[in-house]
Every structure is written in structure tokens, then in C-alpha cells.
DNA sequence: AAGGTTATTGCAAAAACTTGCAATAAGGTT
DNA sequence: AACCTTATTGCAAGTTTTTGCAATAACCTT
């Protein structure tokens, strides 16, 4: 839709191609305001592109994450979920009831700088999920 | 081995039971100095207890993590790995070469306090994995 | 607009992980 | 030491995720 050609040229510049599958999956991610599981992405995107298969969804999501168009997040049980890339943020999730809350990146800014200078690692991924116990469940 | 009875009573106190399967799996985790995948745990523990099955390994690892005897960590592709519970620490992993480095919890102490007071969440899990680009790969 | 290169997909099969349920055995009670 | 309760396991079957490879189609070049 909107940023379609933006995405396309971004990929082409790196020697990749824009495909109907990638577009359909990007649409699904853009329309969701939350994180989606690969299965949910598949269901959504298949409506736009009926021939779409699940292996392609898995591979595409991984590809989009590697290339900065999507971000991954971890659920408690270790399953990946995906979200369109946008402003930096993090999550804190209740390990009892699953309640989720967004955490602004500003809160981690200082830590990230310290991490970078201490470890020498750079470009640390800014989409973390912390697990704790929410106020209700305490 | 060493802390066997310690583990046993810890579980019994909560209405759970110590079993040969749980012991074999705890041994496997104790002897490993790194994180293990469920498959690796299965291979190791099966040597000590040949009848062990994979579903039991998955269920047991989840059980041990829930009860504080083991900790989980996420690999880049979202798969869970397990480690015996011990001193608090974190990891930073290179998303290019996979190189890994331990991060002391002291570095995150301040953040954790801020997170707790800002969000109201408590008992935030202290075993995070950050992804970045290591000095070599930059 | 046609042709060529090769990144990407679909298909089929494999591997990893999960679940339901009957059989087993831990560990408390008599 | 025998008995009971029920947490835990193994088995078999399901579901999810990954992989190899031949067919397809994006897009660069002519
Ligand atoms: Mn997010
Ligand atoms: Mn660790
Ligand atoms: Zn909660
Ligand atoms: Zn590296």
C-alpha cells in the first residue's frame, strides 16, 4: 500500500527482490497493531494471496527481520512473533496472566550505551521482552 | 549427585515429586557449562536413563524452569535452550557470527529497579539475551 | 519487448515440538 | 511392609517449523 515502493527499492538496493508474497506479508504486519504469530500472518496474508504457503511465510518473516523491515519478539514459551519495524520499544509481560505492557526505549537508553561500551558490541537490537509478575498477580 | 536431596525436598515442599527422569535431566544440565537444547538434554540424560523419552524432556525442562531450578534462554531463531539455575547473568550474542559473551547482572541492576518502579511489575526474570554485532564483525 | 540470470517460491518430506490419555510409580498413610 | 492417592511418564498421534530441490518469476541487460 503506502510504503510499498519504499520497501521494494530498499530490498533491490541490497540485491533482493520484491515479490507478491513479501508484499502480502508486509501488509498483514502493517495492519496488525500487535505482534503476530507466523500462523496468524499466514491466515491474513493468504486472504490477499491465496497461493501463499506456510514455508514461505516462515522464510519471509525471517528474511524481513534480518533486513530490518520486521522485528521479532519472544513469547514465554519460546515462540517467535513478528511486528512491522517502527519506533523502538520493548515489552514487559506477566508470566502468570500474560498481561503485556509497552516499555519506552528511553528507559533502556543508558543501559544500551553501557552495554555497548562495556562489551564492544554495537547495534544492539532494541526490541526486548522482559518477563515479570504484574501488579494484579502479585 | 551433590544437591540431589536439596532439589528433591524443594520439589516435595510444593507438592511435586522427584523422579529418576528429573534427576537425569538435572544432571545433564549441571554437567553442561553452557545452555543446552532440549535435544541435547535428551541425548545426555538418556545415557543415564535409557528409557527416557523426548516428550518427557520437553515437559520436564518447562517444569524445571517454572519452578526455578532451570533457566531458559532464547537463541536467535527463537528456540529455547536451558541452563541450570545459578547466579544471575545475561548474554549478548553476535547476530552475524553467533559469538556469545556473558553480561553481569550488576550492569542491569539500575534498569531493573527503574523497570519495576515504572511498570509495577515485580520479580523480573534476570536472564536476558541481547543481540548485537560483535567487535570482529563490525 | 524479449531474453537471461538467479533470488524466491511451492511442494513434499523431514524434524522438532505438543497433546491426550491410559499405565506407572513417588511418597504419604495405615 | 502393604496400600492409596495422584503426580508423572510413555506411547501414539497431532501440530508446528524446517529443509532440499526443481519450477517459477523478478528484474537487469540487451
Ligand atoms: Mn513490539
Ligand atoms: Mn545463561
Ligand atoms: Zn499478571
Ligand atoms: Zn560476530
| Mean pLDDT of the A104-119 span | 96
- Distance, in Å, from the CA atom of A33 to the CA atom of A23, rounded to the nearest integer, reads 17
Phi and psi, residue A15, nearest 5°: 85, 10
Q: Which of these CATH numbers, 3.40.50.1240, 3.40.50.1100, 1.10.10.10, 1.10.357.10, describes B3-84?
A: 1.10.10.10
Name the average pLDDT for chain B.
Answer: 95
Lowest mean pLDDT among B13-17, B43-47, B76-80: B76-80
**Which nucleotide, over all strands, has the C1' atom closest to the CA of B12?**
C27
Per-residue pLDDT, A14: 96
Is the pLDDT at A4 greater than 80? The verdict is: no
Lowest mean pLDDT among A52-56, B14-18, B74-78: B74-78
Task: Name the protein residue, with chain letter, whose CA is nearest the C1' of D12.
Answer: B55
Surrounding residues of ion ligand 1, Cβ less than 5 A: A 83
- Cross-strand partners of A91: A102, A129
| Domain boundaries, given as residue ranges, for chain B | 3-84, 89-132
CATH T-level topology, domain A89-132: Dna Ligase; domain 1 (3.30.1490)
Confirm whether A3-84 and A89-132 share one CATH topology.
Answer: no
Per-residue pLDDT, B77: 87
- Distance, in Å, from the CA atom of B10 to the CA atom of B70, rounded to the nearest integer, reads 13
| Mean pLDDT of the A57-78 span | 95
pLDDT band at A2 (very low <50, low <70, confident <90, very high): low
Give the distance (Å) from ligand 1 centre to CA of residue A114. Answer: 23
Is the pLDDT at B1 greater than 70? The verdict is: no
> pTM value?
0.93
Q: Which positions in chain B have a beta carbon within 8 angstroms of at least one beta carbon in chain A?
A: 62, 72, 74, 77-80, 92, 94-95, 101, 103, 107-108, 110-111, 114-116, 118-125, 128, 130-135, 138
Other Cβ atoms less than 10 A from the Cβ of B18: the count is 16
Amino acid at each position: 500500500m503506502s510504503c510499498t515502493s519504499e520497501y521494494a527499492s530498499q530490498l533491490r538496493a541490497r540485491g533482493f527482490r520484491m515479490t507478491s508474497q513479501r508484499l502480502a506479508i508486509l501488509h498483514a504486519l502493517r495492519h496488525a497493531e500487535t505482534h503476530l504469530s507466523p500462523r496468524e500472518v499466514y491466515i491474513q496474508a493468504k486472504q490477499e494471496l491465496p497461493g501463499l504457503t506456510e514455508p514461505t511465510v516462515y522464510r519471509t518473516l525471517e528474511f524481513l527481520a534480518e533486513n530490518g523491515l520486521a522485528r521479532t519478539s519472544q513469547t514465554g514459551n519460546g515462540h517467535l512473533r513478528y511486528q512491522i519495524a517502527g519506533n523502538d520499544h520493548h515489552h514487559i509481560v506477566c508470566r502468570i496472566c500474560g498481561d503485556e505492557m509497552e516499555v519506552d526505549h528511553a528507559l533502556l537508553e543508558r543501559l544500551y550505551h553501557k552495554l555497548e561500551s562495556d562489551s564492544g558490541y554495537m547495534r544492539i537490537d532494541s526490541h526486548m521482552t522482559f518477563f515479570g509478575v504484574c501488579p494484579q498477580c502479585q
